[in-house]
Structure 1
Amino acid sequence: MNAPEILAGAPVTDLPDGHFIDGAFTKGASGALMDSYDPGRGSVFARFTNGTEADVDQAVESARIAFQSWARTPAVERATILSNAARLLRESAEQIAIVETLDCGKPLNEALADVRGAARTFDYYAGATDKLQGDTFPLPHGYLGYSVFEPVGVTAHIIPWNFPISTAARGIAPALAAGCTVVAKPAEQTPFSALLLADLLTKAGLPAGVCNVVTGVGANVGAPLVAHKDVDQITFTGSVTTGQHVMRSAADNVTRLVLELGGKSPVIVLDDCDEQAAIDGVLGAIFENAGQVCSAGSRLVIEKGIHDRFIEQLVARTKRLTLGHGLRDPQVGPVNSVQHLAKIAGFIDRARGRGAEVLTGGAITTDPETGQGWFYEPTIVADRPCDDELVQEEIFGPVLTVQVAEDREHALALANNTQFGLVAGVYTSDVSTALQMARDIDAGQIYINEYFAGGIEVPFGGNKLSGFGREKGLEGLKSYCKVKSVAARIGAIAKSW
């Protein structure tokens, strides 16, 4: 399977059409299948299993049984399996990336970077597995106090469609490292990379039942999974509305949660910045994966002193971006579905009705080579007020909204003036200003002079409506642990009452 053959019309073969439960692919209880669409062509390229609550029950039971032995597996053995998985991911990177591109639409080089990042994630947590250790407490003489980290148990992972392999890895790898077992539910738009990952983990030596994947729609699979009484932890990435439903379901069983619910992140560009570096950063922040990124820099907050020349160059660069099917590796690929395309277009249509000035883009389009697919032109909208829908709502597409700041204090106020708080970027040559901004912006992660800086080592998560809890880094590993404290009297026994 290679990109030129697929683009020429060759069928995509050897994809799983079943769930992955108890170490093997298995047909769903209902036998029903769903279509998976190639967004670059707007047509079906494969089918997969549409799961049911019965499939969820089977997967959770498998994970619960497997937990008894996996939690007691020596950390060094778990580390070896995760390292093996990282190696296999690198060996399979091109094939998985092709599937990822077909499933979610992103350019092939972006998909390759995602697979390599997933491999790095398994490497990172392989290295952390045997270094997860507790503390001792300074109790009085005659007492010993210490803590240990224990795995929480069966973990449920609700994986979004925009970064399927990346998001799966950043949750599954630390869960396995901590000694937890997994039931993953990928988005119905992008089921295949999670299935391929589970199979690859088994080939890396993971015992049956430790990692399970159930595919299908949210109502039939996701809802019963997050409400399941035998699930001990839920990691959810998705919309605020769905996240609220997940929280309500989790409350009935007092199930632990990590929620990453998106954002409306600002890129603050100050007068003293390196303007070319800032232009590069702004372009990548909003147009990577066609803007379908939870942490996308979807608001440009720019000081007025450089506004005119900066916007002129930014618009010119945006107009030169290439669009096309992801397997041809353009700069901007399609959006994931025809429904999402209509949602993006609706935002811009309503904005025009309010008098917004669209500086470039602002229309549905297609692959210029084939006339097919679900594409939206890279779009920039001129200065909008703080209460405008384009400023306050997550569009999740290739749409950048400009806000003009009078000075640095105003830029900070604009940056914080939304209900979201996932990430923010700052471009300035003044280190003191950058660190003050980092201190005062209400967001879970701040990028300075490079948007999307960092990697798996850096904890990631949001504040406000962007959710709570942290993934990545050592904080991500601790998310899958519970702390047990032990206090023992080791001196002479006191006289009884």
Structure 2
Amino acid sequence: MSKVKMESYPAIIGGEKVNGKGTFEDLDPSTGQPFAEVARCGEAEINQAVEAAREAHEKTWRRTTPAERARVLHNIAELLRRDHEELARLESTDTGKPLTQTRADVAVAARYFEFYANTIESFYGDTIPTQQGVFAYTLREPFGVAAQIIPWNYPIQIGCRSVVPALATGNCCVMKPAEEAPLTPIKVGELALEAGLPPGVLNVVPGFGEEAGAPLSAHKGIDHLAFTGSLEVGQIVSRAAAENVIPVTLELGGKSPNVVFADADLDGAIPIVVNSIIQAAGQTCAAGSRLLVERRVHDEVLERVAERFKGIEIGPGLEDPDLGPIISEEQLERVDGYVQQGKGEAQLLAGGDRARGDRLGGGYFFEPTLFGGVSHSDRLAQEEVFGPVLVATPFDDPEEAAWMANATDYGLVAAVWTRDVSKAHHLAQEIRAGQVFVNTYGAGGGVELPFGGFKKSGHGREKGYEALYEYSQIKTVAIKYGK
């Protein structure tokens, strides 16, 4: 039987398509079958990409005006919108996410280019009043070569979230997408060249973590490093950055709570609570994976959530169901391991098993799962499962709710559901998280809203105007004049 010919996706280095030291197969998690061949980069390609970025930075990109950079960024946004459906379908096939979600991801990716194109021209330094006869001012300058290591759950959106402010501030980039879902970042690299981005300004180097990610994070030629992914890998990346004494932006795990008070609009809250854990099959650092409910409405809320879970449509991403597959067999087994342990520790209210059926074939599907009676100290309540698994715990008053919300090592996102404005403000101040939402969850991409974690959820901020500070360094100039 002849092998089906698959489309090939090269690396983008110095404006050229590069095959790397070989290729690897990219799997469709909805079927478990390979559908693309991707360039497999190693240390040689990483060196080549860093050199190309350095040359482009020194010769062209850092010398461009903000207006010139803005023009190119706008051009890329237009091409992303032109190819919107193609990119959404590619992202859906690569990640298994429902088409509705990947269409939104592509729209957000385009918005990153538009937002930073619009803001970079107003990103100024300051003048500083000082002693007589001295004129002092500050400049915001790029670091030089910025490296981005991108996860598989939101490849186009997080890729653009990390790369675009770096480009806007005059850095050149080497982006390493995850081996599980590298295709749309490669396409962004191709579209950037079509839009007029000079060769070498954005390089895309797909490959495995130990072969491409490790040498990139430890490379002495990079000046700034951004990583989004697990806590364990983030610690490795941090050590590599520390060795080279370069700044690092880390967005790591989360165990984010939805805190539901008895006075909340439950009809409005429950659909959003459910969506916050099934979005991307729960494979997002910002997933609403904990449900803290005031005891007076605890049973009602769990009953309604469980009923919704039972009605969720599961299927291949391209069929646009409510819930797509887990990214890989390895991740599916990890999720299942947490759930099977949880069955002996808490009350299973919905789901709890791998989803099977003729329609699902050999894909990596897992039922949306709800546990009640989970202690805040249980493994299910403390560790990031990264799947469609929601754990619920009751509380009695706002102080206990705030304590429970903070009772993990993570602090990325939280939501508070209440009609009481004073209570909302109080909880927003007490909860240690980078983003706190009230009567909503998430922000549809939230390009304008600074994003990042407290505690072991990471440090540094992406999105919004804050990202421009993250990707630039300040220089102070003082000039003495007169006698």
Give the TM-score of the pair, scaled to structure 2: 0.97
Alignment partner of 2:296 out of 305, 321, 337: 305
Is 1:200 the counterpart of 2:157? The answer is no
Offset from partner CA, 1:425-468 (integer Å, 9 cap, x none): 11111111111111110011111111013610000000110000
| Aligned equivalent of 1:40 | 30
8 Å CA contact 1:17, 1:49 repeated in 2: yes
Residue 122 of structure 2: SS of its match in structure 1?
coil
Percent identical pairs in the alignment equals 45
- Segments of 5+ residues of structure 1 without an aligned counterpart are 1-10, 493-497
Give the CA deviation at 1:293: 0.9
Q: How far apart are 1:16 and its partner, in Å?
A: 4.1
| Amino acid across the alignment from 1:52 | G
Query: Of 164, 169, 174, which aligns to 1:173?
Result: 164
2:359 is the alignment partner of 1:376 = no
Shift of 1:82: 0.3
Q: 2: CA distance between counterparts of 1:71 and 1:490?
A: 29
**Deviation of 1:490 (Å):** 2.1
For the Cα contact (< 8 Å) 1:16–1:25, is it kept in 2? no
User: Does residue 342 of structure 2 align to residue 351 of structure 1?
Assistant: yes
User: Which of these residues, 388, 402, 411, is aligned with residue 412 of structure 1?
Assistant: 402
**Any conservation in 2 of the 1:159–1:187 contact (CA below 8 Å)?**
yes
Against the structure 1 CA distance between its residues 373 and 367, is the aligned structure 2 distance closer, same or farther, given a 3 Å change threshold?
Answer: farther
Amino acid at match of 1:420: Y
Contact conserved, 2:434 with 2:452, CA < 8 A, in 1? yes
Classify the secondary structure of the residue corresponding to 1:364: coil
Number of aligned positions between the proteins: 479
**How far apart in 2 are the matches of 1:261 and 1:399?**
19
Kept after mapping to 1: 8 A contact 2:6/2:36: no
The 5 Å alignment of 1:226-241 reads 226-241=217-232
3-state SS, counterpart of residue 203 of structure 2: strand
Task: Report if aligned partners of 1:325, 1:367 keep a CA contact under 8 Å in 2.
Answer: no
Distance 1:111 1:12, change over 3 A: farther
Match of 2:481 in 1: 490
Q: What is aligned with 2:388?
A: 398
What is the CA deviation profile of residues 318-349 of structure 1, one whole-angstrom value per residue up to 9, with x for unaligned ones?
Answer: 11000000000000000000000000000011
**Structure 2 unmatched ranges of 5 or more:** none
Quote the Cα distance in structure 2 between the aligned partners of 1:80 and 1:368: 49
What are the Cα deviations for residues 26-81 of structure 1, in whole angstroms up to 9, with x where unaligned? 111xx321110000111111111111100000000000000012001111010000
Cα distance in 2, alignment partners of residues 451 and 78 from structure 1:
33
* Pair 14,142 (structure 1): closer, same or farther in 2 beyond 3 Å: farther
Aligned-pair Cα RMSD in Å? 1.3
Give 1:372 shift.
2.8
Tell me the distance in 2 between the aligned counterparts of 1:202 and 1:426.
Answer: 44
The C-alpha deviation readout for 1:404-434, integer Å capped at 9, x for no partner, is 1011111111000000011101111111111
Q: Secondary structure at the match of 2:153?
A: coil
Contact 1:34 1:47 (C-alpha < 8 Å) held by counterparts: yes
Map 1:86-165 onto structure 2 (within 5 A): 86-165=77-156
Contact 1:323 1:367 in 2 (8 A): no
Give the TM-score, by structure 1 length: 0.95
Kindly state the Cα deviation for residue 13 of structure 1 after the two structures are TM-superposed.
8.1
Once the two structures are overlaid, the 10-residue window that deviates more, 454-463 or 231-240, is 454-463
Residue 330 (structure 2) aligns with: 339
**Stretches of 4+ moved more than 6 A in 1?**
11-14
Q: Which residue of 2 aligns with 1:21?
A: 13
Is the 8 Å Cα contact of residues 24 and 199 (structure 1) preserved in structure 2? no
Cα offset, 1:368, TM superposition: 5.1
1:207 & 1:140 partners in 2: Cα distance? 43
Shift of 1:14: 8.3
Residue 317 in 1 paired to residue 308 in 2? yes
